[in-house]
Amino acid sequence: MNRTIRVFIAFLFAISTINAAEHPNLFLTPKGVQEIKSSLGKYPAFDKSLSELKAIADKALAEKIEVPVPKDGGGGYSHEKHKNNYYAMNAAGILFQISADKKYAVFVRDMLMKYAELYPTLPLHPIIKSEARGKLFWQTLNDAVWVVHAANAYDCVYNFISEKDRQLIEKNLFRPMAEFLSNGNPGNFETFNKMHNHGTWALSAVGMIGYTMGDKELVAKALYGSNKDGKSGFFRQLDMLFSPDGYYTEGPYYQRYAIWPFMTFAQVIQNQQPELNIFRYRDGILQKAVNTSLQCAYNGEFFELNDALDKTYATQEIIYAVDIAYKNNPANKQLLDIARLQNSYLVSEEGLSTAKAVAMENIPAFETKSTLLHDGAKGDEGGIAILRSGTDSKQSCLTFKATSHGLSHGHFDKLSMIFYDNGNCILPDYGSARFLNIEPKDGGGYTKENHTWATQTIAHNTVTVDGKSDFNGDIKMSSKYHSDLNYFNADNPEIQVVSAAEGNAYIGVKMNRTTAMITNKAFEYPLVLDIYSVKSDSVHQLDFPFYYKGQLVSTDFKYQKSTKELKALGTKNGYQHLWLEATGKTDKPIADFTFVQGNRFYSITTLANPATQFKMTRIGAGDPDFNLRNTTCFMIHQPNATTHTFVSVIEPHGLYDLTREVTENYDSNLSNLVLLRDDEAFSAVIISLKNGQKFLFITANKDFDESKIKTLVIKDKTISFKANYYFSEIQN
């Protein structure tokens, strides 16, 4: 324990407590406060979190209170000031409860009074970029987050503030804000009642300030929607925004973000109306949502699907999620493994319980699993499959996306995949084109390239037909459909398979992708077999990119790389953002593309025919403001295909140890790849290794009934199997 903490704790003990009557009861409770006080000095990580909060509060108290007229976008002065203000109020409020030092309460009160003075004078925020413009911030969303924190601060100092001041603050600030957030203009009314994370923030804000002010009307609106009919509101969101598996339709990045108001507001409801049993609602959907969120990560980094930036388990929203989930379900001890990693806790009963348990319990490792997460409120709108081999930080992991569109943050990337191995992202998804809160970068919001590049199909590891994005890039059309899961089977850890179909993304085109992660002693590391068929009655151009991180080592085909001049690959639908660096062809039936990342080599071995062209591209064309990252890509181009099946193996191999100067096995171990059969019923592939071993993989393409025996003849041998796939070593 360092000195600052020791001094602070001594100081806390020395000060007499106050009676908080009905307040606080939003996020802190009198009982929780008491427990925190009596636990100080016992749990160093919790003490650290408290002292961090104290540092935030004390820094703010040392400065002049500033409540600037809103002017800037994300990252700009007024934006960051208002954000810092709500963090400061939240911290000071909690500190007041724990220390009972009035200076913290005075600070919160004075700041709220300043806001109560400013707020009535505010028009909509001058930056016109969001359909739901806020007043303090450029978008209502941030106003809602402001209220969530301010409500908590207000709850903490409620009994300290005179009734007269409270009336002023409520009349000039909180009531107008609640009205603005729920009903202030058509956009806000829509957001408040929308099934969307912005709606979750809005109703959490309104509900929390409602509870604090004792305004049942506001609470009812938050819980049951503007019309209090349950057609919107928090419960409806719990019904609609999560699938029965607890998957949030916008994807892992926004699931992480949405979990914050969901869990926070749920804890408030639990404190205020325990009879609602909110954490048991819908079979414990919020607990499932937390677990699902944690599963959507590799080494604690969330999968960058849809609009997504780098985010990890260390974010404050996941600290909220883990602490609250654990407090309300202490049986789930694996959460403690995440909490231990976070080493940071909510300063609340929830955080304290978790910190205590981390200090005292036997903690099992958090288990990452191969899993299928269904999408859609009823779980019938496709889903995300996660295949993993191994449990450690070097595990192989693959995501396979066959979901619905994912609301406004969805991408046009039906049947796309991401591949991780050896602790690194090997075949990445671009995520979003955005520089969060960096004002000179489009105000910290999504850059225009997010639409022109990141959401387009060609930006993803899946097939683009005729140079157009899925549903021709029409979000309304895309939102009507979802991919269909054929089957998912991870029962056998040595061969895990997911298969899905997409029949609506392109008119008259049926796509079917089956991806298997195969762990076998014949392979150095688990390999991925990928069978992607595209069927149509008419002729199409197919582009199938593999974005890769690493440096090209070798190919077994010839290519010509442009050395003096580069041209953009196309003019629209994302193609305008790719520099065409090289093109190649092969006269062999397979092609190999090998690159190195970290201390391992990766080969993509893929079927080729005389029409197949290989394009090596790099992101960065059509990017006048340097907004894009410049990832490289190996693209398979089939110019005139009616029915075509791409078969590829992604194979980690060898060792590139620069420290010991040891290089092993830089070549692919594969000698051949043959698509033996490929029709409506089955696809069968033989993988041949250089050492002579051969493996047969068969997938069913219809009648996905695990209990039904399937029979087919391969090379004069009758093969029967019960599941939807078959895998075995074969003799010549």
Active site residues: 254, 409
CB-based burial of residue 167 (10 Å sphere; 0-12 exposed, 13-18 middle, 19+ buried)?
exposed
CB of 75 to a copy of itself, least distance (A): 4
Nearest CB to a copy of itself, comparing residues 184 and 444: 444
Q: Confirm or reject binding of residue 392 to a copy of itself (CB under 8 A).
A: no
| DSSP H or E segment with residue 730 | strand 725-730
Greatest Cα-to-Cα distance within the chain, rounded to the nearest angstrom = 91
Distance between CA atoms of 85 and 70, rounded to whole angstroms? 13
- DSSP β-bridge partners for residue 190: none
> CB of 249: closest distance to a copy of itself in angstroms?
22
Residue 38 contacts a copy of itself per CB under 8 A = no
Nearer to a copy of itself, 79 or 221 (CB): 79
Tokens of 353: 């319980």
Q: Which stretch binds a copy of itself (CB under 8 A): 63-71, 74-82, 91-99, 209-217?
A: 74-82
Question: Which residues on neighbouring strands pair with residue 600, listed in sequence order?
Answer: 597
Which of 62, 365, 658, 709 touches a copy of itself by CB under 8 A? 658
Dihedral sign (CA 401, 404, 405, 409): negative
Structure tokens at 140: 């209502």
- Interaction between residue 437 and a copy of itself (CB under 8 A): yes
Q: Which stretch binds a copy of itself (CB under 8 A): 73-81, 279-287, 330-338, 350-358?
A: 73-81
Which of 2, 316, 609, 643 is in the footprint of a copy of itself by CB under 8 A? 316
Distance, CA of 274 to CA of 96 (rounded, Å): 26
- Residue 97 or residue 594: which is nearer to a copy of itself going by CB? 594
- What residues from 440 to 469 belong to the interface with a copy of itself (CB under 8 A)? 440-441, 444
Q: Report how far residue 525's alpha carbon sits from residue 392's, in angstroms, rounded to the nearest whole number.
A: 14
Nearest to residue 349, comparing CAs of 24, 22, 89? 24
Residue 116: phi and psi, rounded to 5, are -65, -25
Which range touches a copy of itself (CB under 8 A), out of 312-320, 350-358, 524-532, 698-706? 312-320
Q: Is 583 in the site for a copy of itself (CB under 8 A)?
A: no
Other CB atoms within 10 A of residue 274 CB: 10
Using CB under 8 A, which of 312, 479, 645, 671 touches a copy of itself? 312
Q: Classify residue 354 by burial, with Cβ atoms within 10 Å: 0-12, 13-18, 19+.
A: buried
Q: Which is nearer to a copy of itself, 292 or 452 (by Cβ)?
A: 452
Of residues 543-582, those binding a copy of itself (CB under 8 A): 551-554, 560-561, 563-568, 576, 579, 581-582
User: Which of 314, 377, 477, 676 is close enough to bind a copy of itself by CB under 8 A?
Assistant: 314
The pairing of strands 495-502 and 558-561 is: unpaired
Residue 361 within binding range of a copy of itself, rule CB under 8 A: no
**Do residues 615 and 601 make contact, with C-beta atoms less than 8 angstroms apart?**
no
Residue pair 382/483 in contact by the 8 Å Cβ criterion? yes
Site for a copy of itself contains 625 (CB under 8 A)? yes
Q: Identify the residue among 143, 170, 381, 623 touching a copy of itself (CB under 8 A).
A: 623
Q: Contact between 664 and a copy of itself (CB under 8 A)?
A: yes
| Alpha-carbon span 212 to 674, nearest angstrom | 67
Distance (Å, whole) CA 663 – CA 459? 33
**Residues in contact with a copy of itself, total (CB under 8 A)?**
57
* Site residues (vs a copy of itself, CB under 8 A): 74-75, 80, 83, 309-312, 314-316, 435-441, 444, 551-554, 560-561, 563-568, 576, 579, 581-582, 594, 596, 616, 618, 620-626, 629-630, 656, 658-664, 666
